[in-house]
């Protein structure tokens, strides 16, 4: 979000700074992909074209061909070409150092945008769920409107159909590869937001009799449709970009945390009124990040307040402000000149290892420890009717099996973290594993605490007691407590008859 605000501010420039190479931060390796491939893919630019784009003396520059040979001081040196957007990202936005062992200095511009981003999050949560809920109506719907505008504009461009077909038409030979299905499962898992606590937190604010079955069905459908819709917007613009540069679409697409700040701005810079389209894109990008961040912070503050309700229920503003400020302080590590290396460690290890294991623990604990029959009764009390037996099959067998498969696949595919061509030292990899394991420590720790508190003389007795549902687990709505206790009594009688 800090990077997005930086790009948003720069989008108001008279000439987008990432659209050309005539800036102070550009090097001799800089080139404009559009200028370079302007008329014919086989045409080599003469020195005047390079001079106009790069801004160097023509006596020092010969020609730019596929080998990117640049003459300096009478000798040819092979250099790695970089687009203007790449150099803007690495040399202006990040001021990238050579590796994680060189953190460099804080980028004061990014510190300001980071502070601004956290300030916006705090203001959206200033009244808790009441204010964040109202913000969500805007933050969740605005991206759809802006994406629709960008899609309509993109569809009018040359090469848009090629980009869409590249995106939508399956490569059938790839469907036989095991890794493709594993990657797809990982993507869908994270896209739905499982294991982060956000869905459970927001659901806890629902009315007791809210139709949660309907929501559970609609959510993944909307998620899938939204992903497809956003992909259409991206690839029609990439199709235009590939058409203009006379390149295969594969060659204009990169990956990594900087993709949104290198590929897409380059495509938007080629449109008429590029400042307008860049502003729309980065406003959309910021609102997407905002609604996600609001949920993450809401999850954390709700957990803190729920843990100490008597002390903190009237200090919600203080808890929210402290959480946002702490988040800002922690985020400073990512806005140094080498901050993107540390961010890559967080992204590489935390999500792929910890979150999926936590989600597996949740579904196993719910279906096998808490008990699927009692869970069915809880939902029946909320919905007014009993669920189909098919849900039981999913919760007890299919869902845990899929998550376990994806988790093991992810671990098998996991390789040491890299950023571009930069490899990380051993101590940095160790930090990644510590971060990944840290969020798993509460599982055994809380289990040991619960065992110690449980009634019973032997360990086995304590274990049996600790696996029983807590008496504190009950509806917060007093109007349904009588029905809840009747349900518990019915379940207890059934257990006695079964025994």
- Tell me the per-residue pLDDT of 43-61, one tens digit each, with 9 for 90 and over: 333 333 333 343 333 333 3
Q: Say if residue 358's pLDDT is above 80.
A: yes
Q: Are 404 and 364 in contact (CB under 8 A)?
A: no
- Residue 492 lies inside a defined structural domain of this protein: no
Q: Say if residue 255's pLDDT is above 70.
A: no
Q: Say if residue 423's pLDDT is above 60.
A: yes
Which residues are CB-contacts of 211 (< 8 A; sequence separation ≥ 6)? 383
- Residue 5 lies inside a defined structural domain of this protein: no
- Residue 499 lies inside a defined structural domain of this protein: no
Same domain, 221 and 304: yes
Q: Are 399 and 229 in contact (CB under 8 A)?
A: no
Domain coverage including residue 442 = 346-468
Per-residue model confidence (pLDDT) at position 254: 61
Residue 69's pLDDT band (cuts 50, 70, 90): very low
As a whole number of Å, the end-to-end CA separation of the chain is 57
Residue 386: Cβ within 10 Å count:
10
Residue at which a domain ends, from 299, 320, 337: 337
Per-residue model confidence (pLDDT) at position 258: 62
Radius of gyration, alpha carbons of the chain: 27
- Alpha-carbon distances of 392 from 166, 244, 469, rounded to whole Å: 39, 53, 19
What does the mean pLDDT of the chain come to?
Answer: 82
Q: Say if residue 494's pLDDT is above 90.
A: no
The continuous run of DSSP H or E covering 444 comes out as: helix 442-453
Same domain, 62 and 183: no
- Residue 283 lies inside a defined structural domain of this protein: yes
Per-residue model confidence (pLDDT) at position 469: 77
Task: Give the DSSP letter of residue 45.
Answer: B
Same domain, 174 and 195: yes
Same domain, 135 and 242: yes
C-alpha to C-alpha distance for 182 and 179, rounded to whole angstroms: 5
C-alpha to C-alpha distance for 117 and 223, rounded to whole angstroms: 25
pTM across the whole model: 0.81
Q: Cα–chain-centroid distance for residue 203?
A: 21
Q: Are 150 and 282 in contact (CB under 8 A)?
A: no
- The residue-averaged pLDDT of 137-145 equals 84
pLDDT digits (tens, 9 = 90+) for 9-41: 999 998 999 988 989 999 988 987 654 333 333
Domains contained in the chain, number: 3
- Residue 481 lies inside a defined structural domain of this protein: no
- Residue 333 lies inside a defined structural domain of this protein: yes
The 3-class secondary structure across 358-371, one letter per residue, is HHHHHHHHHHHHHH
Q: Are 350 and 437 in contact (CB under 8 A)?
A: no
Same domain, 385 and 406: yes
Same domain, 52 and 138: no
pLDDT digits (tens, 9 = 90+) for 191-208: 888 888 888 888 888 888
Lowest mean pLDDT among 36-45, 147-156, 320-329: 36-45
- Residue 11 lies inside a defined structural domain of this protein: no
Same domain, 322 and 254: yes
**Alpha helices (H) along 196-273:** 198-203, 212-245, 263-268
Q: Are 400 and 364 in contact (CB under 8 A)?
A: yes
Same domain, 72 and 147: no
Same domain, 179 and 67: no
C-alpha to C-alpha distance for 101 and 267, rounded to whole angstroms: 33
C-alpha to C-alpha distance for 371 and 495, rounded to whole angstroms: 12
Same domain, 148 and 289: yes
- Residue 429 lies inside a defined structural domain of this protein: yes
Residue 308: Cβ within 10 Å count:
11
Per-residue model confidence (pLDDT) at position 253: 65
Q: Say if residue 70's pLDDT is above 50.
A: no
Residue at which a domain ends, from 337, 361, 385: 337
- The residue-averaged pLDDT of 463-480 equals 82
Residue at which a domain ends, from 337, 365, 389: 337
Same domain, 120 and 247: yes
Same domain, 332 and 381: no
Helix (H, G, I), strand (E, B) or coil at 351: helix
What distance separates the 2 farthest-apart alpha carbons in the chain?
Answer: 95
């Amino acid at each position: 979000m800090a990077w997005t605000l930086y790009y948003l501010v720069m989008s108001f420039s008279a000439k987008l700074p990432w659209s050309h190479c005539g800036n102070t931060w550009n090097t001799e390796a800089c080139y404009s992909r559009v200028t370079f491939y302007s008329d014919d893919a086989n045409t080599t630019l003469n020195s005047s074209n390079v001079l106009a784009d790069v801004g160097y003396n023509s006596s020092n520059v010969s020609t730019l061909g596929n080998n990117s040979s640049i003459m300096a001081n009478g000798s040819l040196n092979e250099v790695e070409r970089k687009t203007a957007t790449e150099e803007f990202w690495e040399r202006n936005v990040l001021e990238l150092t050579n590796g994680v062992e060189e953190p460099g200095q804080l980028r004061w511009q990014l510190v300001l945008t980071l502070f601004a981003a956290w300030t916006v999050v705090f203001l959206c949560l200033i009244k808790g769920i009441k204010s964040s809920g109202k913000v969500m109506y805007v933050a969740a719907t605005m991206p759809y409107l802006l994406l629709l505008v960008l899609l309509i504009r993109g569809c009018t461009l040359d090469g848009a159909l090629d980009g869409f077909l590249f995106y939508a038409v399956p490569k059938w030979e790839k469907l036989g590869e095991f890794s493709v299905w594993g990657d797809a499962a990982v993507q869908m898992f994270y896209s739905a937001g499982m294991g982060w606590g956000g869905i459970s937190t927001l659901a806890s604010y629902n009315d007791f009799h809210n139709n949660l079955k309907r929501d559970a069905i609609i959510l993944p459908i909307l998620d899938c449709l939204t992903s497809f819709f956003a992909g259409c917007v991206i690839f029609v613009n990439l199709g235009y970009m590939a058409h203009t540069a006379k390149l295969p679409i594969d060659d204009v697409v990169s990956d990594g945390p900087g993709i949104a700040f290198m590929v897409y701005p380059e495509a938007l810079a080629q449109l008429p009124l590029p400042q307008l389209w860049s502003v729309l894109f980065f406003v959309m990008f910021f609102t997407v990040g905002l609604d996600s961040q609001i949920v993450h912070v809401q999850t954390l503050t709700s957990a803190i307040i729920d843990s100490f309700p008597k002390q903190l229920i009237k200090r919600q503003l203080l808890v929210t402000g402290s959480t946002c400020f702490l988040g800002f302080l922690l985020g400073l590590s990512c806005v140094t000149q080498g901050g993107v290396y540390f961010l890559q460690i967080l992204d590489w290890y935390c999500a792929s290892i910890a979150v999926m294991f936590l989600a597996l623990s949740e579904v196993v604990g719910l279906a096998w420890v808490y008990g699927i029959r009692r869970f069915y009764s809880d939902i029946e009390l909320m919905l007014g009717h009993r669920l189909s037996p098919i849900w039981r099959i999913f919760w007890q067998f299919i869902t845990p099996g899929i998550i376990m498969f994806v988790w093991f696949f992810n671990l098998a595919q996991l390789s040491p973290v890299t950023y571009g061509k930069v490899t990380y030292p051993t101590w940095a990899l160790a930090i990644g594993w510590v971060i990944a394991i840290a969020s798993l420590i509460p599982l055994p720790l809380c289990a040991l605490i619960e065992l110690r508190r449980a009634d019973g003389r032997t360990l086995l007795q304590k274990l049996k007691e600790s696996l029983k549902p807590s008496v504190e687990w009950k509806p917060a709505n007093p109007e349904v407590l009588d029905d809840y206790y009747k349900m518990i009594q019915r379940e207890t009688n059934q257990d006695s008859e079964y025994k």
